[in-house]
Structure 1
């Protein structure tokens, strides 16, 4: 697995720095690999909004999250709610099973902010969803896999030919399947794809209605421990499985200072989580209802690192977009660089 990026982030601030300075640091992070070590701070510090920053248009911030992602940890720790009180803004949290329906909600304006894997934003951009990438995590290739039952006759990716493979269309698992087939000399037409949500895919997997299941954590770890699943492959060397934070364009345009404060809080929680994996399990087990031993596996396989969207992440996304376009999975070519947030 790739080593974790430097935890210095585009949102590291001292109390003396204003939210305007934060925007400048973000812009630097977008254009260059940050020389921000000197700006690294104690994660307990926070930014006090300037008077103008309290005039956010959004009185309610609607956040879409999944069962296990950084927003769950942020919600559980409660610091974001406190920070946004200075803006006169409260939060509404909505849980989704996966990224595609979350992006649909962002498209119709039901939520303002979302966190997804790498593939959903590509499909959303191709469908003209009005969003911007506002942050990203580190690659997590070990956190997703193509699973089969322990006693399955399938032993290699080439064995997937002619088999039923379950995954959610437009999800990060979709790209993993595309890359795995390419690696084994197969094409998407060589398998029988089954478009299934994580819950439906788990049921189909247990009942032997599909031969293989492409999925991410925590569903991946749960299947290993509860069903005895084994991985034909993980994302290592195939799919980065990076997570992205997306904002509706209108929200980002109208609430820049509020969004910058939210991103700073996310970065602080990410630093804490990477330094305290045992405490992460303690916090999330009662909130998510996921067994601690499963959470321990999930936590070991990921980094919580959070940053501005760096050039390497943009290049990864463009490769995914190009692959999907070449396979006619999206209706038009897209340029990821066109939808990267650039605060003023």
Structure 2
């Protein structure tokens, strides 16, 4: 009986040890993978398609795991939950995340792409100026760069946000409502802007010039950023390299993006020809841009508290 018990205990001990070994192996494996969140309409899809980051990180003993997200807020949520390590989003999701006390750090910014962001009206619309938007139904994604753009555009003409009827819709749903005549204007970004211009002959009433820079922002999980400055440096370098490629190979970029985005080549061409891809270090100008967005959203009660955007920015 004693022998049987001893044998049983030895077996259980082996199982426990094996289990610990498996857990350690799994943990080590997880640490050897860099998990990146991306959106199809952002610069990281170019990096993913070129495959150069995989080659660089392999030299450092790491693999790349790509995770696709439909929108920036979901990407930021995954970053804060520790499901991904690094990602790209627009200018507004980091502001909401910071207002919610999420642990993340903003690493760098993209180039301004204001020309592809703007307010669209139907080609036969009676709306010919920003002032004509008074009393109209205007669609845009709540809390997005477009939300900020419409506020600033209205204020530039002495109008208030309350002078329009906001219709909160995602870009895809906004396009449908716009086509069906259910809204009078739509505020959106490329390639949704260019596609609406090309396929509906819509009029771009104004673009983002003077209202928003509409930058990309590259963000990282706080713990990952602290532990892996070397890997982040490699990632940013490869984003810049892929950006240089994109800026100098428009035809190849059109061929790459059209099937991924499922948007016609003419619309893709218009979108990429009015923007520049690249990475900018965080500086006082960019910080000021973000702070103004945060202050505007706080003033409109879109975020619950006033924040200082410098608190989550790594300017090194």
Shared fold, TM over 0.5 = yes
The match for 1:105 is 78
The match for 1:292 is 265
- Counterparts of 1:139 and 1:214 in 2: how far apart (Å)? 17
- Counterparts of 2:201 and 2:266 in 1: how far apart (Å)? 14
Q: 1:251 aligns with which of 224, 237, 240?
A: 224
- Counterparts of 1:65 and 1:266 in 2: how far apart (Å)? 12
Mapped pair 1:266 → 2:239: yes
For the 8 Å contact 1:145–1:233, the answer to whether it is kept is yes
- Counterparts of 1:324 and 1:291 in 2: how far apart (Å)? 35
- Counterparts of 1:110 and 1:203 in 2: how far apart (Å)? 33
Moved more, 134-143 or 101-110: 101-110
Residues matched between the structures, number: 289
Q: 2:66 aligns with which of 46, 70, 93?
A: 93
Q: For 1:129-208, what aligned pairs fall within 5 Å after superposition?
A: 129-208=102-181
For the 8 Å contact 2:239–2:278, the answer to whether it is kept is no
Moved more, 304-313 or 293-302: 304-313
Moved more, 60-69 or 225-234: 60-69
- Counterparts of 1:278 and 1:310 in 2: how far apart (Å)? 33
TM-score by length of 2: 0.85
For the 8 Å contact 2:283–2:315, the answer to whether it is kept is no
Shift of 1:254: 2.3
Question: Residue 74 of structure 1 aligns to a residue in which SS?
Answer: helix
Shift of 1:237: 1.3
For the 8 Å contact 2:282–2:315, the answer to whether it is kept is no
Structure richer in helix, relative to its length? 2
The match for 2:9 is none
- Counterparts of 1:290 and 1:238 in 2: how far apart (Å)? 27
Question: Residue 232 of structure 1 aligns to a residue in which SS?
Answer: strand
Deviations 1:205-241 (A, max 9, x none): 1122222111000111111111222112110111111
- Counterparts of 1:99 and 1:248 in 2: how far apart (Å)? 14
For the 8 Å contact 1:58–1:255, the answer to whether it is kept is no
Question: Residue 208 of structure 1 aligns to a residue in which SS?
Answer: coil
Change beyond 3 A, Cα 1:79–1:269 = same
User: Which of the pair has more CA radius of gyration?
Assistant: 2
Moved more, 90-99 or 110-119: 90-99
For the 8 Å contact 1:165–1:191, the answer to whether it is kept is yes
For the 8 Å contact 1:76–1:287, the answer to whether it is kept is no
Deviations 1:282-301 (A, max 9, x none): 33233333322111111111
Q: 1:229 aligns with which of 193, 202, 217?
A: 202
TM-score by length of 1: 0.79
Question: Residue 31 of structure 2 aligns to a residue in which SS?
Answer: coil
Shift of 1:140: 1.4
Question: Residue 136 of structure 1 aligns to a residue in which SS?
Answer: strand
Change beyond 3 A, Cα 1:104–1:161 = farther
Question: Residue 62 of structure 1 aligns to a residue in which SS?
Answer: strand
Structure 2 unmatched runs, 5+: 1-27
Structure 1 unmatched runs, 5+: 1-54
The match for 1:218 is 191
Question: Residue 120 of structure 2 aligns to a residue in which SS?
Answer: strand
